Amino acid sequence: METVKDIKEMQKHSSCLRKKGNRIGFVPTMGFLHRGHMSLVEKAREENDALVVSIFVNPTQFGPGEDYEAYPRDMEKDSALCRQAGTDILFSPFPSAMYPSGFRTIVSVSGLTEGLCGASRPGHFDGVCTVVAKLLNIVWPHRAYFGLKDYQQFQVVRRMARDLDMDTEIVGLPTVREPDGLAMSSRNIYLTAGERKAALVLFQALECARKMAAGGILEAGTIEEKAREMILSTNGASLDYASVVDAEELTPVKTIRDRALLALAVSIGKARLIDNAILEAGNRESNG
Ligand code: AMP
């Protein structure tokens, strides 16, 4: 495995790989890798000739007062995990190289970024889109892999790649969970033992909502209310949003027709946690 920090050098590597006919798989991350990240890395390894993983804690997607400085970092461990997983190139540029003085460009996707995390974290998705666009230009992969845990991010990035005719297939992969259901996240490290227990409410609320929809309760308001009630009655949890939205456009829905997404954002202690589930509409009669 080669570790590359220089942007031009990364671009040279990618050109060489492409000239030799290799298909490049790419996994962009902010590091502090866990099994969720590694599921993307493993899939990318399987499906491509060459594998590039990036580790870059992107300052522009953190708002003022968010956890950019405190965001957990462990380059040594991450590097070992990437090597073990068969990564060819670990790309970890410096922020000053990604955003040199005079940097003036923002990539912005409208509509899809208005609700959910876009509403509570102004500017967040501009930061995400800009950095992902830059990384895709630098690494120039055939496929880039994203986790559906960050469902809105996946939809936004996919739309950006489509709208800007980027020659990269954006692949979304399922959320990897702890045995009890908590979605794996680098931010779980912020949780104390008590908060870790409380954090389970996200998964419980999603499971409950899935059952409600499968059982024919299709009014979004009823499902959202139940999720809110579960979260608000959990000690130490404060609700950012619990929203049932169209699974492609991320716009609010009133009644679930076929399928919809329930997206949750909850703060527990120092951690802001997000999770989501697809709700499939069932039939009230056939489910008793
Ligand atoms: P991050 O380092 O948090 O920016 O995440 C890098 C990539 O890993 C993103 O595409 C995330 O959606 C994905 N990811 C994070 N947590 C998980 C998880 N629990 N399961 C699957 N993918 C994940």
The pLDDT tens digits for 24-83 are 999 999 999 999 999 999 999 999 999 999 999 999 999 999 999 999 999 999 999 999
* Cβ contact 175:203 at 8 Å: no
- Ligand 1 site, residue 150, Cβ cutoff 6 A: yes
Residue at token pair 């997607």 = 61
* Cβ contact 91:52 at 8 Å: yes
Distance 255 CA to ligand 1 centre (A): 30
Check pLDDT > 80 for residue 154. yes
* Cβ contact 58:173 at 8 Å: no
Is the whole-model pTM more than 0.85? yes
Q: From CA 60, how far away is CA 99, in angstroms rounded?
A: 9
Q: From CA 69, how far away is CA 73, in angstroms rounded?
A: 10
Three-state SS for 138? helix
For residue 142, which of 51, 54, 55 has the smallest C-alpha distance?
A: 51
H or E element at residue 90: strand 89-91
- Ligand 1 site, residue 37, Cβ cutoff 6 A: yes
The pLDDT tens digits for 75-133 are 999 999 999 999 999 999 999 999 999 999 999 999 999 999 999 999 999 999 999 99
Give phi and psi for 31, each to the nearest 5.
80, -165
* Cβ contact 269:238 at 8 Å: no
Q: Which of 13, 34, 37, 124 is catalytic?
A: 37
* Cβ contact 138:168 at 8 Å: no
